[in-house]
RNA sequence: CGGGGCGUAGCUCAGUCUGGUAGAGUGCUUGGUUUGGGACCAAGAUGUCGCGUGUUCGAAUCAUGUCGCCCCGACCA
């Protein structure tokens, strides 16, 4: 059978992924190396994802703010581990003026900055600086801030959505009076991320703490939301850090406690990015294109009037009426009255992952019927129902699609997670080409033999198992 | 930054080995027939062959330099 996306997932997963993004019109590579242009349809999905995340963040008592794009190098230099982690991938602003020199526009040597700025790869430092001024008394705590911004990390090998040099994200930064509160906060945000992935993106995640070598630069503990792609590789979709007092000490975030003594605060940071969209694509899509969970679908329903030359106007009007009635129920509906051929419209919206497609033909209109097809199931779900039946059931049907998509992922995860008793078994599975996550006793991975396996099979420790931290999940990753 | 591949029409690519008028498919435009999962016929428009230098009567083709992209590594809270 002909598929909309070539190659297929099984033929070449990474090429399929690139083709999928082009075919569904989400984004394209830009003239700037490592940076992508997110096109209107892709951005519409991101906006829906962002709105729902923002709602949940605010519900956790966090306020939005906005900090500068440029960070003084001296700030960055204050936390040693942090510098070590990020220095290799920072873009630096060194001049503030251009000049025509020998017919070439160049940075004007006379405009060199005495103190260069770096473009934020993350904002712990500049927010830490602000916090040191904003936090004076225990009454100022907790202070919970978030910003939705772009950041830049000069990546060696970019891939659209998964790893781009510039990306959009939210980064939250909270301050507390005690370590207990800070750690609870990091865990709370971690839990919120997991719920969001499940309820909004219909993705079941593997939740847990990062092992020491995978931890954020400057954190005491990092909690991660790991997801399993259809090719079995892991994607880190959101992290939450207990920063201990590393940044509070470096930036002098202190407060007068109830006892009247000056105390050092405790901070957390937590973030999710457009990388989640990469996960959304690689978890749900098939060889015909995107499949969007209704909650983040820009168009939850598309209505395609099947027109002939003589009935175009009446068919389009009838379709618009149904569209209006569905919108009145709070459903995002697109009525595609463009003058493309019907078959082309159908494929266009299949590729773009619209959860529910409605086709209306002339005879159906006379009988007040229409035909619906679910994107997640495809042809087999095609059925003709009455307009009234649709209006009554549309919202429920979208909820059902959302739930069914999650169930598919949960079932697939069961197959893609394998318990292994020892390193020899792990080696054998990987040598045999088994894909997915492997759950291994953590102590065993401290053996040098495990380092060899990591090297041999390009695997890494993804996270400890939340349900039993004496086990660690191991996988190949993006 | 290493190893490999690629750069030719909007897109996918042939042509390069063996130098001699710039090609195909698809898409696009127009007209007609069609229309419930990617239609058909006809006509038409579309190029700095990535860029520079060299060899040559003549370069998409050979040499050399350079830029960019892709894949595999290294790197990646």
Closest CA to the C1' of B34: that residue is A308
Considering Cα of A467, then A471, then A476, then A478, what sign does the dihedral take?
Answer: positive
Report the distance from CA of residue A31 to the C1' of nucleotide B54 in Å, as an integer: 31
Report the distance from CA of residue A308 to the C1' of nucleotide B25 in Å, as an integer: 30
Q: What is the pLDDT of residue A302?
A: 97
- Residue A135, C-beta contacts closer than 8 angstroms, at least 6 positions apart: A141, A143, A175, A253, A254, A255, A265
Report the distance from CA of residue A155 to the C1' of nucleotide B25 in Å, as an integer: 37
Q: Which nucleotide shows the minimum CA-to-C1' distance to residue A160?
A: B70
Query: What pLDDT band is residue A103 in, cutting at 50, 70 and 90?
Result: low
Q: What is the pLDDT of residue A234?
A: 93
Q: Which is more confidently placed, A155 or A172?
A: A172
Closest CA to the C1' of B1: that residue is A156
What pLDDT, in 10s, does the model give residues A199-243?
Answer: 999 999 999 999 998 999 889 999 999 999 999 999 999 999 999
- State mean pLDDT over A400-424: 96
Percent of chain A with pLDDT over 70: 99
**Token duo for residue A8:** 């297929």
In sequence order, the β-bridge partners of residue A159 are A163
What pLDDT, in 10s, does the model give residues A330-368?
Answer: 999 999 999 888 999 999 999 999 999 999 999 899 999
Query: What pLDDT band is residue A33 in, cutting at 50, 70 and 90?
Result: confident
A273 three-state secondary structure = strand
Chain B, protein-covered positions (CB within 7 A): 1, 34-39, 68-77
Q: Which nucleotide shows the minimum CA-to-C1' distance to residue A81?
A: B77
Task: For residues A259 and A370, give the distance between their C-alpha atoms in angstroms, rounded to a whole number.
Answer: 72
Q: Are strands A356-360 and A301-305 parallel, antiparallel or unpaired?
A: parallel
Report the distance from CA of residue A104 to the C1' of nucleotide B47 in Å, as an integer: 28
Q: What is the pLDDT of residue A3?
A: 81
Q: Cis bond leading into A97, ω under 30°?
A: no
- State mean pLDDT over A439-462: 91
Query: What pLDDT band is residue A278 in, cutting at 50, 70 and 90?
Result: very high
């Amino acid at each position: 059978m002909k598929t909309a996306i070539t190659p297929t997932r099984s033929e070449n997963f990474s090429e399929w992924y690139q083709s999928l993004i082009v075919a569904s019109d989400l984004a394209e590579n830009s003239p700037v190396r490592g940076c992508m242009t997110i096109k209107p349809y892709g951005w519409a999905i991101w906006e829906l994802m962002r709105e729902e995340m923002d709602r949940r963040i605010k519900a956790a008592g966090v306020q939005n703010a906005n900090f500068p794009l440029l960070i003084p190098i001296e700030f960055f230099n204050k936390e040693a581990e942090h510098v070590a982690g990020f220095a290799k991938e920072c873009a630096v602003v060194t001049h503030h003026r251009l000049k025509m020199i020998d017919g070439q526009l160049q940075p004007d040597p006379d405009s060199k900055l005495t103190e260069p700025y770096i473009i934020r790869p993350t904002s712990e430092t500049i927010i830490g600086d602000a916090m040191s001024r904003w936090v004076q008394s225990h009454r100022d705590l907790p202070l919970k801030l978030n910003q939705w911004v772009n950041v830049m990390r000069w990546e060696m090998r970019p891939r659209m959505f998964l790893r781009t040099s510039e990306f959009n994200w939210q980064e939250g930064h909270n301050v507390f009076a005690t370590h207990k509160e800070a750690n609870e906060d990091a865990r709370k945000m971690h839990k919120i991320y997991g719920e969001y992935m499940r309820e909004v993106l219909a993705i079941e995640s593997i939740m847990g703490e990062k092992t020491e070598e995978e931890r954020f630069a400057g954190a005491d503990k990092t909690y991660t939301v790991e997801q399993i792609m259809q090719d079995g590789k892991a994607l880190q979709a959101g992290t939450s850090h207990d920063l201990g007092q590393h940044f509070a000490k470096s930036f002098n975030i202190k407060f007068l406690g109830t006892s009247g003594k000056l105390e050092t605060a405790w901070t957390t940071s937590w973030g999710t990015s457009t990388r989640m969209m990469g996960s959304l694509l690689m978890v749900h899509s098939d060889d015909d294109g995107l499949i969007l969970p209704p909650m983040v679908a820009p168009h939850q329903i598309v209505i395609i009037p099947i027109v002939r030359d003589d009935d175009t106007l009446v068919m389009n009007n009838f379709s618009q009426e149904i569209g209006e009635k569905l919108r009145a129920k709070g459903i995002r509906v697109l009525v595609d009255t463009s003058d493309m051929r019907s078959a082309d419209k159908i494929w266009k919206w299949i590729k773009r992952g619209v959860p529910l497609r409605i086709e209306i033909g002339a005879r159906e209109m006379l009988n007040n019927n229409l035909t619906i097809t679910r994107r997640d199931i495809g042809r087999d779900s095609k059925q003709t129902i009455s307009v009234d039946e649709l209006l009554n059931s549309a919202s429920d049907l979208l909820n059902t699609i959302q739930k069914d998509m999650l169930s598919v992922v949960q079932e697939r995860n069961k197959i893609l997670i394998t318990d292994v008793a020892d390193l020899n078994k792990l080696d054998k599975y990987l040598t045999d080409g088994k894909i997915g996550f492997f759950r291994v006793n953590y102590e065993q991975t401290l053996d040098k033999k495990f380092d060899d396996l990591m090297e041999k099979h390009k695997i890494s420790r993804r996270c400890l198992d939340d349900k039993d931290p004496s086990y660690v999940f191991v996988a190949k990753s993006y």
